[in-house]
Amino acid sequence: MSKAGPTKEAFAKLLNWLHPELEKAGEKYETIRLRLIGVLVGRGCHEAEDLADETINVVAARIDWLIQNYQGDPSPYFYGVAKNIFREYDKKRKRPPPAPPPPPDVTEIERECACLERCLKVQLTAIEQRVVLLYHEKMRREKIIQRRQLAEELGISINALRIRVHHLHLKLRPCIEQCLKHLES
C-alpha cells in the first residue's frame, strides 16, 4: 500500500477537479472518502481507511490526465479505483484455514469395533480371522510386504488372497450390520 500522499500541487488540482469552490470541494472530498470507507468495510476490509487513502492517492497521481479526459461526476471514478485496489488487497489477504472436520463420534466407532470383534469370532474360523486382521494391519510399503508374506504362507497368489479376503468381508458385513441395528434399538 502506498504510504506517501499526493503532492500539495496534485492535491490542490484534485480538490479543484472535485469542485471549483474550495469549501464545496472539501465537502465533496470528505463525502467521497467516507463512502469509500463504507464500501470497503462492507466488503470485509479491515484496513478500509488505508485503502480509501490509497485510492485517493492513486486518483491524485492521475489528476492531470483526469482533468483533460474525464467527463462527469468524479465519484464513480474513485469507486472504480477503490474496487481495483480492494481486489489486489483481497488477493494478498491471508485466508483463515478451513475449520477442521468435526471429531468422529467415539461411541459410534466403539460400537462398530465391538460388532467387528464379535462378528470376527462368530463368523470366521481362527485362521480366517488371522488372514483378515493381517491383511488390514500395516500401512503403505509395509502393507504390501505383509500381504506378499501372507500369500506365500497360505501358498496362494496375491490376487487369490484379495479374492479370499473379499469373500470373508462378504461373510462379515451382514453380521456387522445386524449387530449395529441391534445396538441401536
- Among the candidates 92, 114, 134, a domain finishes at 92
| C-alpha of 106 from chain center | 26
Is the full-model pTM beyond 0.75?
Answer: no
The full DSSP string for 96-117 is PPPPPPPPP-HHHHHHHHHHHH
- Terminal C-alpha separation, the chain: 63
- Among the candidates 62, 92, 122, a domain finishes at 92
- Among the candidates 38, 57, 92, a domain finishes at 92
**Are 39 and 111 in a shared domain?**
no
**Are 121 and 66 in a shared domain?**
no
Domains identified in the chain, total number: 2
Residue whose cell numbers read 497521481: 61
CATH of the domain at 137: 1.10.10
Assigned domain for 178 exists: yes
User: What is the spatial distance between Cα 29 and Cα 8, in angstroms, rounded to a whole number?
Assistant: 15
47-63 pLDDT per residue, tens: 999 999 999 999 999 99
User: What is the spatial distance between Cα 79 and Cα 5, in angstroms, rounded to a whole number?
Assistant: 18
Assigned domain for 3 exists: no
**Are 88 and 112 in a shared domain?**
no
Could you list the residue range(s) of the whole structural domain that residue 133 is in?
106-184
40-49 pLDDT per residue, tens: 999 888 899 9
**Are 111 and 87 in a shared domain?**
no
134-161 pLDDT per residue, tens: 999 999 999 999 999 999 999 999 999 9
Is there a contact between 102 and 158 (Cβ–Cβ < 8 Å)?
Answer: no
74-129 pLDDT per residue, tens: 999 999 999 999 999 988 877 777 888 888 778 888 999 999 999 999 999 999 99
Assigned domain for 2 exists: no
